[in-house]
Structure 1
Amino acid sequence: MAPTVQEFYRGKTIFLTGGTGFVGKALIEKLLRSCPEVGTIYLLMRQKRGMNCEERLKDLCSKQVFCLLREKNPDSFKKLKIINGDITEDGLGISEDDKKLLQKECQVIFHSAACVRFDQKLKDAVNMNTTGTWRMLSLAETMENLEVFVHLSTAYCRCDLDVLDEKVYRAVHQPRKIMDIVQWMDDDTLAYLEPKLISSEPNTYSYTKAITEDLVAEYAGKFPVAIARPSIVTAAWKEPIPGWVDNLNGPTGLIIGSGKGVIRTMHCEPSYRADAISVDVVANACILIAYVTAQDKPKETQLYNLTLSGAIAMTWEEIIRLGEKYVNEYPYSVALWYPGGSIKSYKIMHQLDMFFSHIVPAYLVDALLFLLGKKTFMINLQKRISHGLSIIQYYTTKEWHFRNNNYKSLRSRISAAEDEVFFTDQTQIVPEEYLKNYVLGTREFVCKEDPGNLPRARKLHKIRYFADRFIKLIFFTLLLWTLYSNIHVFTSSVELLDSTLKSLPPIQAKADEIGDVGL
């Protein structure tokens, strides 16, 4: 009899990177709460923003994602131990003692650390995403009791393919050669070559994830290896709090930006299906992937596309319509303007709308602030928004197809009781309920708005609504008046010209007169 998931993790020593990230937090929380007999979880952590690692761990444990743990099992935090280090440094920057500790004790590795900025320079993206993974793999190779290595990639790692299968694809360039190039090549030359090097992918994030998968696959056979490829990772569906999210990445930024009246146009093909996966489902899948891979001990790399494919079919238009509904029902207290705008299928229409609804108002607001002696900010804000939209819109103007049979098969490897704990069946998601919680989650967890201030927020929202309609009324009134005035002037000019022509002698008579004079 195979052990249950909880039995498998009993006493296990885990090494996890990216623990302070969105997925990392959800994974730590789920392991501690649903596998209460897990052994030690070592977290690779570095000093940041003037905080040492101990302070960062304390800050991590105070996050809202751990509210259930703090309430029901506060002692579980004692299982979290720090490994001082940095994924971007040689040897991970860890001490010799910590290295020996991991080599002796570690049994499961979850490698989720990555730079998720799509506009990162190639050198930095390779050092973090590819070379950092190689450093982890090199350490894993020396571990005495390692049972499984789980690497988190992305379902958007091969954007040139029409359909992404659950298999390893040979990278366009050999990862070790790219790692070598970025080490010795000067920055100017590398910047010149970057567009050509990453031409198969839309950005350095996707490119480095693609070549990193090839690197990870090299180690298959040395120890069990699995790669998890989530699509767009969004707010929690069920746990620990419905709607929990802690960043502005992807759809979260769009929800907040449109809800605050800052984003009013977007280039998107409304009929295309969207693919996203909630962060708690990703955490559950990673736990099950490690469990299954450790049991099977495969000699080949196992691939899992953690995607919505085949579960729920929703278009961007449907999602945006629901989003608009709930940002108006649960508005933000602090907003620039009343939500509005629309999605555009044609890029030229989007650019025109952006000029009139984003750029022109930004200059007007900053001009007013300048005259009042206040600090300007709208132009810079709109530049950042424009840059962010240009990145996101690559993914909203193309239809994506993923095969995820391996991922869906995870349910068949666990009991019905465990499936209730480590849920992966996304067909049970109710989109309306999920998006409502998502909007509420952005208010509470990202914008830090007290749910109790919702009545006040609705009053302010109503004021913004009437202000929006009043301004539009004035604008259209002026527009109609201008058109009327121009038409009136044009009509008067035509009438004057007509009367002038009528007062002149007949053209033929004049011509005859001119002819007589000529003779």
Structure 2
Amino acid sequence: MAQSVPDFFKGKNVFITGGTGFVGKSLVEKLLRSCPEVNSIYLLLRQKKGLSTEERLRELCTNKLFDLLRQQNPEFCKKLRLVAGDITMDGLGLSDKDREELSEKCHIVFHSAACVRFDQKLKDALIMNTTGTLRVLTLAETMKNLEVFVHVSTAYCRCDLPQLCERLYPAVHSPRRLLQLLEWMDDDTFAYLEPKLIASEPNTYSYTKAVTEDLVDEFSSKFPIAIARPSIVTAAWKEPIPGWVDNLNGPTGLLIGSGKGVIRTMHCEPSYTADAVAVDVVANACILIAYVTAQDKPKETQFYNLTLSKVIKISWDQIIKLGEKWVNEYPYSMVLWYPGGTIKSYWVSHQLCLLLTHLLPAYLVDSLLFLLGKKTFMVNLQKRISHGLGILQYYTTKEWHFRNENYRSLQQRVSKEDNETFYTDMSTLDPDEYLKYYVLGTREFVCKESPDTLPRARRLHRIRFFADRIVKFLFLLLVFWFLYSYRDVFSSSVGMLDSALKSLPPLTSVRAEDS
């Protein structure tokens, strides 16, 4: 009988980069909870925001994501081993002791650390996503007991292609040559070349992910490698907390921004698929990918597109309508205005609404704040929002098809029990219920609003509803008054235009003269 997934991880030592990130946290929690006999999980951590590596590890262990695990195993933190280092430093900044221990004891590597900012400077993105990956691969090469290396990439690594299969697509530029450029080229020259280098991709994130896949593939003859390509990663579906999310990236920021009345227009093709995969499904898939790849010991890199193609169809229109429904049911406490707005298929109409519903109100609010001697902020806020929407609209106005046979086949490679524990099939997902918990998750984990604040938030929401309707009514009244007051001017203008048009020679006579 085939070895179960928990049995495979029994007694194993796992090295994880990006363990404090969105996917990384979920992966760590799932391994500890569902593979309780894993020996140790080594986490690469650096100092950040004034916190030491030890403080960051303690912060991770006290995260609400681990509450269920904490109930089952209060001593789970003892399995987490701190490895002080930095992916942007030579040799990962590891001490000789940590390097030796990893080389001697590590069996499995999950590399999920990455810069996920779409507008990051190319040089910085390459240092983090490409050079950093090379450093992890170089370390993995020294691991005497390494069974599998799983690299977390993205399904949007080749946005220039309408269809992405589960195979390697050679990068437009050689990763080795790009890394050579990093060594000697100054920042200004690199910034000048950036638009030309990433011309095939919408941003530096997808460009560096594509380049990095080429680099990872170079090591496929040295140890078993698999590349997981999730699409947009969103809130948890089932475990350990439905709706858990800890960042403002992608749809989460859109959901919160619209729910707080800040975002009122979006350039989007409503019928296109919103290809988003829940973070707990991504974590489960990564674990199964490691299990399967270690069993198969392939000599070539294995690719898995973690996407919704042929699994479930959810459109952007459906997501936005359900989001609006549940935001009104579970409103946020700190809100600028009553939620509203629509999605626009046409760029021109979106820009017009952006001007009327985002920028003009922002200038009005800032003008009032300035007159009151208060600090202005709305214009800068709306400019940042407009910038973010501009980045996101690339993905909401295009549609890709992802081949994901390898991903879907994971279910056939494990037992029924393992399938239930490490679920990867999202075909049974109920979008309505998922969006409900998604909204609740953004309230609690991103906006830090406890469930106790909900009754008051609902009362304020009703007040904002009536205020919104009154303001809209007064605005329409003002428009009608303006049109009525200046009806004579409009009438004479129309008459003058009509006379001018009638005075023009017929089009047929003009053509006759030309001939």
Q: Which TM class, normalised by the smaller chain length?
A: over 0.9
Match of 2:104 in 1: 104
Counterpart Cα distance in 1 of 2:245 and 2:491:
60
Counterpart Cα distance in 1 of 2:334 and 2:172:
47
Counterpart Cα distance in 2 of 1:86 and 1:494:
69
Q: Per the alignment, in what secondary structure is the counterpart of residue 77 of structure 2? A: helix
Change (3 A) 1:473 1:146: same
Counterpart Cα distance in 2 of 1:260 and 1:10:
46
Match of 2:410 in 1: 410
Counterpart Cα distance in 1 of 2:245 and 2:451:
15
Change (3 A) 1:493 1:135: closer
Match of 1:431 in 2: 431
Counterpart Cα distance in 2 of 1:416 and 1:191:
52
Amino acid of the residue matched to residue 140 of structure 1?
Answer: A
Counterpart Cα distance in 2 of 1:188 and 1:463:
52
Whether 1:56 aligns to 2:56 is: yes
What runs of 5+ residues in structure 1 fail to find an aligned partner? 496-519
Match of 1:143 in 2: 143
Counterpart Cα distance in 2 of 1:273 and 1:72:
38
Deviations 1:284-320 (A, max 9, x none): 0000000000000000000000011111112111111
Amino acid of the residue matched to residue 10 of structure 2?
Answer: R
Equivalent residues, number: 495
Change (3 A) 1:128 1:490: closer
Match of 1:498 in 2: none
Change (3 A) 1:492 1:279: closer
Amino acid of the residue matched to residue 234 of structure 1?
Answer: T
Change (3 A) 1:491 1:31: closer
Change (3 A) 1:494 1:114: closer
Counterpart Cα distance in 2 of 1:422 and 1:403:
21
Amino acid of the residue matched to residue 358 of structure 2?
Answer: H
Match of 2:353 in 1: 353
Amino acid of the residue matched to residue 372 of structure 2?
Answer: L
Match of 1:470 in 2: 470
Q: How does 1:270-285 map to 2 (within 5 A)?
A: 270-285=270-285
Counterpart Cα distance in 2 of 1:428 and 1:250:
23
Whether 1:338 aligns to 2:342 is: no
Match of 1:289 in 2: 289
Q: How does 1:192-211 map to 2 (within 5 A)?
A: 192-211=192-211
Match of 1:248 in 2: 248
Match of 1:322 in 2: 322
Q: Per the alignment, in what secondary structure is the counterpart of residue 81 of structure 2? A: strand
Counterpart Cα distance in 2 of 1:290 and 1:177:
30
Match of 1:502 in 2: none
Change (3 A) 1:195 1:491: closer
Match of 2:511 in 1: none
| Greater radius of gyration (CA) | 1
Counterpart Cα distance in 2 of 1:23 and 1:412:
24
Counterpart Cα distance in 2 of 1:256 and 1:417:
37
Amino acid of the residue matched to residue 415 of structure 2?
Answer: S
Match of 1:154 in 2: 154
- Offset of 1:452 from its aligned partner? 2.0
Counterpart Cα distance in 1 of 2:398 and 2:353:
21
Match of 1:228 in 2: 228
Amino acid of the residue matched to residue 60 of structure 1?
Answer: L
Deviations 1:235-279 (A, max 9, x none): 000001000000000000000000000000000011111100000
Please say which of residues 422-431 and 481-490 is displaced more in the overlay. Answer: 481-490
What runs of 5+ residues in structure 2 fail to find an aligned partner? 496-515
Counterpart Cα distance in 1 of 2:397 and 2:437:
26
Match of 1:450 in 2: 450
- Offset of 1:417 from its aligned partner? 1.2
Match of 2:17 in 1: 17
Match of 1:365 in 2: 365
Deviations 1:430-467 (A, max 9, x none): 11000111011101111111112212111100111111
Whether 1:486 aligns to 2:479 is: no
Match of 2:509 in 1: none
Amino acid of the residue matched to residue 225 of structure 1?
Answer: I
- Offset of 1:2 from its aligned partner? 2.6
Amino acid of the residue matched to residue 478 of structure 2?
Answer: L
Change (3 A) 1:228 1:375: same
Counterpart Cα distance in 2 of 1:494 and 1:36:
79
Match of 1:259 in 2: 259
- Offset of 1:183 from its aligned partner? 2.1
Change (3 A) 1:183 1:355: same
Counterpart Cα distance in 1 of 2:494 and 2:353:
35
- Offset of 1:492 from its aligned partner? 8.9
Change (3 A) 1:487 1:139: same
Whether 1:212 aligns to 2:247 is: no
Q: How does 1:76-155 map to 2 (within 5 A)?
A: 76-155=76-155
Deviations 1:44-97 (A, max 9, x none): 011112211111100111111111112221111100011110000000000111
Amino acid of the residue matched to residue 188 of structure 1?
Answer: D
Change (3 A) 1:482 1:108: same
Match of 1:392 in 2: 392
- Offset of 1:490 from its aligned partner? 5.3
Change (3 A) 1:407 1:479: same
- Offset of 1:484 from its aligned partner? 0.4
Match of 2:500 in 1: none
Whether 1:44 aligns to 2:48 is: no
Amino acid of the residue matched to residue 33 of structure 2?
Answer: R
Counterpart Cα distance in 2 of 1:37 and 1:399:
42
Amino acid of the residue matched to residue 30 of structure 2?
Answer: K
Deviations 1:171-228 (A, max 9, x none): 1111010011122111111111110001110110000000000000011120000000
Match of 2:508 in 1: none
Amino acid of the residue matched to residue 27 of structure 1?
Answer: L
Q: Per the alignment, in what secondary structure is the counterpart of residue 486 of structure 2? A: helix
Please say which of residues 286-295 and 184-193 is displaced more in the overlay. Answer: 184-193
Counterpart Cα distance in 2 of 1:455 and 1:46:
40
Amino acid of the residue matched to residue 384 of structure 1?
Answer: R
- Offset of 1:494 from its aligned partner? 11
Q: Per the alignment, in what secondary structure is the counterpart of residue 74 of structure 1? A: coil
RMSD between superposed Cα atoms in Å:
1.2
Change (3 A) 1:6 1:480: same
- Offset of 1:142 from its aligned partner? 1.1
Amino acid of the residue matched to residue 172 of structure 1?
Answer: V
Q: Per the alignment, in what secondary structure is the counterpart of residue 44 of structure 1? A: strand
Counterpart Cα distance in 2 of 1:56 and 1:385:
30
